[in-house]
Structure 1
Amino acid sequence: MARLFGTDGVRGLANRDLTAELAVDLAVAAAHVLAERGEFSGHRPRAVIGRDPRVSGEFLSAAVAAGLASAGVDVLSVDVLPTPAVAFLTASSGADLGVVVSASHNAMPDNGIKFFARGGHKLDDAVEEAIEARLGESWERPTGSDVGRLVRAEGLAAEYVSHVVGAVREFTGVDAPLAGVTMVVDAAHGAASVVGPEALRAAGAVVIVINAEPDGVNINEGVGSTHLGPLQAAVLEHGADMGVAFDGDADRCLAVDATGAIVDGDRIMGLLAIAMQRAGTLYRDTLVATVMSNLGLHHAMRAAGIEIVETAVGDRYVLEAMRENGYVLGGEQSGHVILSKYATTGDGVLTALMLGARVAADGSLHEQCAAIATLPQVLVNVPGVDRSRVHTDAALASAVADSRAALGDSGRVLLRPSGTEPLVRVMVEAATQDDAQRHADSLAAVVKERLAF
């Protein structure tokens, strides 16, 4: 049986894969597991629940709240707020548990449930597995005054905005760190539609907002960080200095410079790493990134005297490496950027603030990005193959070795089996697009021939 929890909670088609019944069961099981681990000892447990604006979040968040309350957990509902805001409020309120109902960048029909432990940190694999094992169990239900209470929070969105604006002020030492920057914000009709522009304006930016009218069904629909065309057009139309785009739950941020060129997560991380190194706040001069980060980032960081620690794909693995070693900056090419002094997870609004501050302080984003050249990257998905043999087949290993030898230091090859499908992803970077495509297609053909069922 496939594991219910993925790299970012439980996710699926709302009301089909992810039902109200499952949401209740997950909430009850989470309450029981955390109670038995001593997380609730000595006090009445409390949880913070938030969601993105998609319509299914209304019944799913109600189901989660009902499950927790039935298990004796008091519930503080913050309604529509970004995932990082819920993580922050879980920590700042002293709650024992945080829950976000969101499918992040997925299309509207999907939804998801992800949990945060006390302090706003994602649950580790062992806790998620324990929760999954307890689904549907018989249990003794509390009654009377022992059942949980449901309270609708007021004013906590402002607390989050104050926190992220305070973070960029602290980092820069400037009261209006984005003063003089004109920025277009694409909110993806998502959870940051209000707090994102508010935070950027509070930090001094002139903000032009697009796609910030969520109606429950338009989240991520051709907009936001997965569809940057509208942002590029708006930046050019308004002559803005830059643009930023969030995804549905605003745990990621991508950017566009004044020319309309895309600034991906690798370049954002690189620029922030250089700024933090200059300020003396980049612990051990180290950036944490996944194996999918572009080789161009590695070259730029090496030139700047910054080391890169690589992890598996997924922001949870970046977070694990950061927490284990005390690193303060990490993230993914997709725009999850984690600044651990100020956030326990990727925070798109905080990332936008920090990047905007770099433009205010150092000028043109386009010129700054020139220091981080991106090598052409080709990704080919090969379906219908035995992914378990991707690292053991001798002929495939020989073909990979040949490509790596041919590319030398100017390129990179990565074969990655899917975690959920009979599929292998072939990624090649090279000095030219033609070289990257040629090697990727050649290796994909070998994968298909050697690993076919």
Structure 2
Amino acid sequence: MLAKQGTKKVIIGKDTRISGYMLESALEAGLSAAGLKAIFTGPLPTPAVAYLTQTFRAEAGIVISASHNPYYDNGIKFFSSEGTKLPDAIELAIEEELDKDIECVESSELGKASRLNDAAGRYIEFCKSTFPHNLSLAGLKIVIDCAHGATYKIAPSVFKELGADVVAIGVDPDGTNINAEVGATDVRALQAKVVEENAALGLAFDGDGDRIIMVDHLGNKVDGDQIAYIIARDALRRGELKGGVVGT
């Protein structure tokens, strides 16, 4: 569909599942055959692919991941050129294309694949830029559980560079251990580590890094509703919310 619209550039990221390499190769072949340029980022959180799709001025973004599911599951997710979810109509059109014969371009028009070697660095700098310059995490001990997934390099780096004392777990992906007794779907390891390290808090990501669970200094889980309340209360205090009701 992108080829029919005359667009030429697609950002492709993935989590750490062993099958991601296979799907990368399949996407490279298909996109190149359609005359598109495939730009691979390697393991990268889903929000990072959305961010790079927009800032790199790509026409679309693709994430190879099955999120919080076991390693043997996998799939693909598409982003628009703005880094947002595709409209339902376009998703349906893509599904219809899957049942049709593939239209290949002439050999001289085949697309080329490349690697964006500084993709992780770009996203790390973006994450740091969202943190207020007048604040620091110095003196704060944080345990981070990356679920052996897509955040295993980025999350520890961001918090370390912001000054925090970081203890990282779930940062040794082997292709088959993503989400296995670690991460946002199983915070027991994080809870134990927070108490053991006498840390201020713990953060657990899921496999593709688009959701998070917190643990307080006593090892108690802080779920999404509580996190939303904390963020909303702070935004209200700073005058960034209108009224006192938050709808979800």
- Tell me which amino acid in the other structure corresponds to 1:143: E
- Tell me which amino acid in the other structure corresponds to 1:48: I
What is the CA RMSD across the aligned residues, in angstroms? 1.4
Partner of 2:204: 245
Partner of 2:62: 99
- Tell me which amino acid in the other structure corresponds to 2:203: V
Distance 1:144 1:137 in 2: 21
Distance 1:281 1:255 in 2: 23
Contact 2:49/2:61 (8 A) holds in 1: yes
Distance 2:101 2:187 in 1: 48
* Residues 12-43 of structure 1: per-residue CA shift (max 9 Å, x gap): xxxxxxxxxxxxxxxxxxxx2x455x4x4xxx
- Tell me which amino acid in the other structure corresponds to 2:154: V
| CA apart distance, 1:180 | 2.2
How many residues of Structure 1 are paired with residues of Structure 2 in the alignment?
248
Larger RCO (CA under 8 A, 6+ residues apart) = 2
| CA apart distance, 1:146 | 1.3
* Residues 75-111 of structure 1: per-residue CA shift (max 9 Å, x gap): 1100111111111110110000100000010011101
Aligned to 2:192, the other structure's residue is in SS state helix
Partner of 2:227: 268
* Residues 113-145 of structure 1: per-residue CA shift (max 9 Å, x gap): 000010111112111111111113135421233
- Tell me which amino acid in the other structure corresponds to 2:9: R
Partner of 1:213: 172
Contact 2:204/2:214 (8 A) holds in 1: yes
Contact 2:143/2:166 (8 A) holds in 1: yes
2:247 pairs, out of 287, 292, 309, with 309
2:216 pairs, out of 257, 262, 270, with 257
Give the stretch that moved more between structures: 203-212 or 236-245: 203-212
Q: Report runs of 4+ in structure 1 exceeding 6 Å deviation.
A: none
Contact 2:3/2:35 (8 A) holds in 1: no
Distance 1:63 1:138 in 2: 16
Aligned to 2:247, the other structure's residue is in SS state strand
1:75 pairs, out of 10, 14, 38, with 38
- Tell me which amino acid in the other structure corresponds to 1:214: P
2:113 is the alignment partner of 1:150 = yes
2:124 pairs, out of 153, 156, 161, with 161
Distance 1:141 1:210 in 2: 45
| CA apart distance, 1:60 | 0.8
Matches within 5 A, 1:424-439: none
2:24 is the alignment partner of 1:86 = no
Matches within 5 A, 1:114-153: 114-153=77-116
Aligned to 2:70, the other structure's residue is in SS state coil
Aligned to 1:151, the other structure's residue is in SS state strand
Aligned to 1:110, the other structure's residue is in SS state coil
Distance 2:202 2:246 in 1: 27
Contact 1:49/1:65 (8 A) holds in 2: no
- Tell me which amino acid in the other structure corresponds to 1:77: F
Distance 1:129 1:97 in 2: 16
Contact 2:151/2:208 (8 A) holds in 1: yes
Matches within 5 A, 1:187-206: 187-206=146-165
- Tell me which amino acid in the other structure corresponds to 1:180: G
Contact 1:188/1:223 (8 A) holds in 2: yes
- Tell me which amino acid in the other structure corresponds to 2:59: D
Give the stretch that moved more between structures: 197-206 or 236-245: 197-206
Contact 2:139/2:163 (8 A) holds in 1: yes
Partner of 1:46: 9
TM-score, length-scaled by structure 2: 0.96
Seq. identity, %: 42
Contact 2:17/2:178 (8 A) holds in 1: yes
Bigger helix share: 1
TM-score, length-scaled by structure 1: 0.53
Structure number with bigger Rg: 1
* Residues 422-451 of structure 1: per-residue CA shift (max 9 Å, x gap): xxxxxxxxxxxxxxxxxxxxxxxxxxxxxx
- Tell me which amino acid in the other structure corresponds to 2:60: L
| CA apart distance, 1:268 | 0.7
Contact 1:188/1:246 (8 A) holds in 2: yes
